[in-house]
Amino acid sequence: MPTLVRTDDVRRQNTRLVMDSLRRLQRVSRTEIVKQTGLSPATISSITSTLISDGILISQEHIGGLIGRGRPRIILSLRPEVGCIVALMLSMNRLDARLQDYAGQTIAQNHLDFDSKSTPAPELFTQIDRLISELLARRSSHPTMPLRYIAVSVQGAVDVTRQTLLWSPVMADQDINIGEFLAKRFKVEVSVDNDCNLLAKALQWRYPEQFGKHFAAILLSQGIGMGLMLDGRLFMGTRTSGNEFGHMVYKPEGAECHCGQRGCIEAYASEYAIFRRLSTHKHDGAPPAAIDETMMRHFMQQALLQEGEEREAWREAGQAIGYGLRSLFALTDPVPVALVGESAMIASLIEPEIYKILSKPGNNAEAEIKLLWYQDADDMIMQGCALVALQAVDHSTQLTAGVVE
Ligand SMILES: [Zn+2]
């Protein structure tokens, strides 16, 4: 039986394409949207006219941008006043928040340092409330701009409804329903995502040529995490955000991990594991509560400079990640891998170890598997978080505009 494609489905898909190219390019002509989306000029004209009359887009004559016969160039952009969003990031001992308008411009941002491990959930809510309220108060120059969505990034596992932080290495409490709290307090839709999934989202957005339908984004920081994109969708577990790459087994019954188990990849490749090994001269022991950043920088410099235990520690980190990727690729086949975090500075030591593990006899892993390194994880996670919020608003504005049934 032939598949029946409904006209409104097609229009919805096309509208998504148009919105995506507007969000990516920000200020763009209809001709450029045609080029970007591959849709016909008539389709683009029809969709953009609807979006303009519904107040989602603004159309401006571009001064100095005259085209054939002296006609001014018309530039389209998203209307900032449609609303604003908050992107909130919870990490070890820190909360970061950013307020953006609908066009994606940052209106205000702030952060708060606190002792996350000793903060119970109700106190965390108070802190978040303070941070977001203070941000919203800075909308004074945009008094009519309503808050439309809050997206939250967390370290740890989230439930599949993307509302509750089930477990996090940065909090002592478990099952923290951040989504429900924020939705009630600020009367908006909320989603809560694992930070590595947001990292994957931002990478795909920034570098669509490298990170398309299939890729893995590994966060190398205090812990080790992964966002896994397969067939254009972020992989989720059956009950949770899943995909605890850092807690896959590297050495059975090996070094103690933050998660309470032993021998995980994270217990060898994370910053705390490397710091533990180099500051105590032991591979095992309770994971350190804090990392001395000055000492860590010194260790890194030593590793880059000469042979020794520092260099060995980062080499073993590469091996642990390499074995993890080998197990992963046995399930998924090889995919491009982004490695993100401060460890990018020491990629020259880690990368050869990963390739060694991934090379099969007669096979050159470097030719088959692409590893790409990026340093600024926090900035990317925040961008992924804001994107989730803005795209959710895109969807709801199309709902109210009658573009979607
Ligand atoms: Zn673990």
Tell me: do 144 and 255 sit in the same domain. no
249 Cα–ligand 1 center, Å: 8
Instruction: Choose the final residue of a domain: 49, 78, 107.
Output: 78
One domain, residues 293 and 389: no
Task: Examine the domain organization and report whether 69 and 95 are in the same domain.
Answer: no
Please give the distance, rounded to the nearest whole angstrom, from the Cα atom of residue 404 to the centre of ligand 1. 43
Please check whether residues 147 and 286 belong to one and the same domain: no
Please give the distance, rounded to the nearest whole angstrom, from the Cα atom of residue 31 to the centre of ligand 1: 51
SS (H, E, C) the chain: CCCCCCHHHHHHHHHHHHHHHHHHHCCECHHHHHHHHCCCHHHHHHHHHHHHHCCCEEEEEEEEEEEHHHEEEEEEEECHHHCEEEEEEEECCEEEEEEEECCCCEEEEEEEECCHHHCCHHHHHHHHHHHHHHHHHCCCCCCCCCEEEEEEEECCEEECCCCCEEECCCCCCCCECHHHHHHHHHCCEEEEEEHHHHHHHHHHHHCCCCCCCCEEEEEECCCEEEEEEECCEECCCCCECCCCHHHCECCCCCCECCCCCECECHHHHCHHHHHHHHHHCCCCCCCCCCCCHHHHHHHHHHHHHCCCHHHHHHHHHHHHHHHHHHHHHHHHCCCCEEEECHHHHHHHHHHHHHHHHHCCCCCCHHHHCCEEEECCHHHHHHHHHHHHHHHHHHHHHHHHCCCCC
Asked, for residue 98, whether it belongs to a domain, the answer is yes
Query: Cα(105) to centroid of ligand 1, in Å?
Result: 38
The residue segments making up the domain with residue 362 are: 211-369
Q: How many domains does the chain have?
A: 3
Q: What is the pLDDT of residues 147-166, one digit of tens each?
A: 999 999 999 899 999 999 99
- Among 32, 50, 78, which residue terminates a domain? 78
Are 218 and 356 in a shared domain? yes
Alpha carbon of 258 to ligand 1 centroid (Å): 6
375 falls within a domain? no
223 and 358 part of one domain:
yes
Cα(167) to ligand 1 centroid in Å equals 12
**Is 402 a domain residue?**
no
Q: Does residue 1 lie within any of the structural domains?
A: no
Residue 365 CA to ligand 1 centre (angstroms):
27
pLDDT of 102 reads 94
User: What is the Å distance from ligand 1's center to 259 Cα?
Assistant: 4
The pLDDT of residue 65 is 56
Residues 318 and 348 both lie in one domain: yes
Assess whether 12 and 134 both reside in one domain: no
- Within a domain: residue 54? yes
74 CA to centre of ligand 1 in angstroms = 55
CATH of residue 257: 3.30.420.40
Question: From ligand 1's centre to the CA of 255, what distance in Å?
Answer: 9
Q: Ligand 1 centre from 112 Cα, in Å?
A: 28
Q: What is the pLDDT of residue 144?
A: 73
Per-residue pLDDT of the chain (405 residues; tens, 9 = 90+): 555 556 777 888 899 889 888 988 888 999 999 998 999 999 999 999 999 998 999 998 876 655 556 667 889 999 999 999 999 999 989 999 999 999 999 999 999 999 999 999 999 999 999 999 999 998 876 667 899 999 999 998 999 999 999 999 889 999 999 999 999 999 999 999 999 999 999 999 999 999 999 999 999 998 899 999 999 999 988 888 777 899 999 999 999 998 889 999 999 999 999 999 999 998 899 988 888 999 999 999 999 999 999 999 999 999 999 999 999 999 999 999 999 999 999 999 999 999 999 997 767 777 788 999 999 999 999 999 999 999 999 888 765 554 443
131 domain residue, yes or no: yes
Distance 263 CA to ligand 1 centre (A): 7
In this structure, the answer to whether residues 250 and 321 fall within a common structural domain is: yes
* Dist. CA 265 → ligand 1 center (Å): 7
Tell whether 86 and 74 lie within a shared domain.
no
Q: 273 C-alpha to center of ligand 1: Å?
A: 11
In a domain, 405, yes or no: no
57 part of a folded domain? yes
Task: Select from 51, 78, 105 the last residue of a domain.
Answer: 78
What is the whole-number distance in angstroms between the Cα of residue 118 and the centre of ligand 1?
21
CATH number for the domain including 33?
1.10.10.10
CA 346 to centroid of ligand 1, rounded, Å: 23
Rounded to the nearest whole angstrom, what is the distance from the C-alpha of residue 144 to the centroid of ligand 1?
47
Centre of ligand 1 to C-alpha 260, Å, is: 6
Q: Look at residue 404 in the predicted model and tell me its pLDDT.
A: 41
Q: What is the pLDDT of residue 5?
A: 59
Q: Are residues 57 and 28 in the same domain?
A: yes
Whether residues 244 and 361 fall in one domain: yes
Report the separation in Å between the CA atom of 80 and the middle of ligand 1, taken as the mean of its atom positions.
43
Question: How many angstroms does the Cα of residue 383 sit away from the middle of ligand 1?
Answer: 27
pLDDT at 237: 84
